[in-house]
Amino acid sequence: MTTAYQANSVIDMDSLIISPFERDDIKDLVEIEGEAFSIPFKEKDFLDIYDSEISNVLVAKAFGKVVGYVSFTVIIDECQIINFATKNEFKRQGVGKRVMEALLAHGKKHGVKKYFLEVRESNYSAIALYEKYGFVPVGISKGHFSAPRENAVLMNLELE
Ligand SMILES: CC(C)(COP(=O)(O)OP(=O)(O)OC[C@H]1O[C@@H](n2cnc3c(N)ncnc32)[C@H](O)[C@@H]1OP(=O)(O)O)[C@@H](O)C(=O)NCCC(=O)NCCS
Collapse the DSSP code of 131 into the 3-class scheme (helix H, G, I; strand E, B; otherwise coil) and give the result. Answer: helix
- HSE-CB at 152 with a 13 A cutoff on CA atoms is 13
The C-alpha angle 107, 111, 116, rounded to 5 degrees, equals: 55
d(CA 128, CA 132): 6
The one-letter amino acid at 144: H
Phi, psi dihedrals of residue 105, rounded to the nearest 5°: -70, -40
For ligand 1, the distance from its centroid to the CA atom of residue 111, given in whole angstroms, is: 26
What's the whole-model pTM score?
Answer: 0.95
Task: Collapse the DSSP code of 33 into the 3-class scheme (helix H, G, I; strand E, B; otherwise coil) and give the result.
Answer: helix
CA of 91 to the centre of ligand 1 (A): 7
Atom of ligand 1 nearest to the CA of 95: 7
pLDDT digits (tens, 9 = 90+) for 23-51: 999 999 999 999 999 999 999 999 999 99
Name the closest-CA residue to atom 39, ligand 1.
85
How many Å apart are CA 12 and CA 126, to the nearest integer? Answer: 22
Nearest residue (CA) to ligand 1, atom 25: 125
Domains of the chain: residue spans and CATH: 15-158 (3.40.630.30)
What is the 3-class SS of 58-122, one letter each residue? EEEEECCEEEEEEEEEEECCEEEEEEEEECHHHCCCCHHHHHHHHHHHHHHHCCCCEEEEEEECC
Q: What is the mean pLDDT of residues 11-19?
A: 95
Residue 21 pLDDT exceeds 70? yes
Nearest CA to ligand 1 atom 5: 96
How many angstroms does the Cα of residue 42 sit away from the middle of ligand 1?
23
Residue 6, pLDDT > 80, answer no
Q: How confident is the model at residue 9 (pLDDT cuts 50, 70, 90)?
A: confident
On whether the CB atoms of residues 114 and 77 are closer than 8 A, the answer is yes
pLDDT for 8: 55
Q: How does the average pLDDT of the chain come out, rounded?
A: 95
For residue 103, name the pLDDT band (cuts at 50, 70, 90).
very high
Mutate to test the pocket of ligand 1, among 33, 35, 92 (most ligand atoms within 8 A of CB): 92
What angle separates helix 43-51 from helix 26-36, to the nearest 10 degrees? 130
Ligand 1 contacts (CB < 6 A) are 36, 68, 83-86, 91-97, 117, 119, 123-126, 128-129, 132
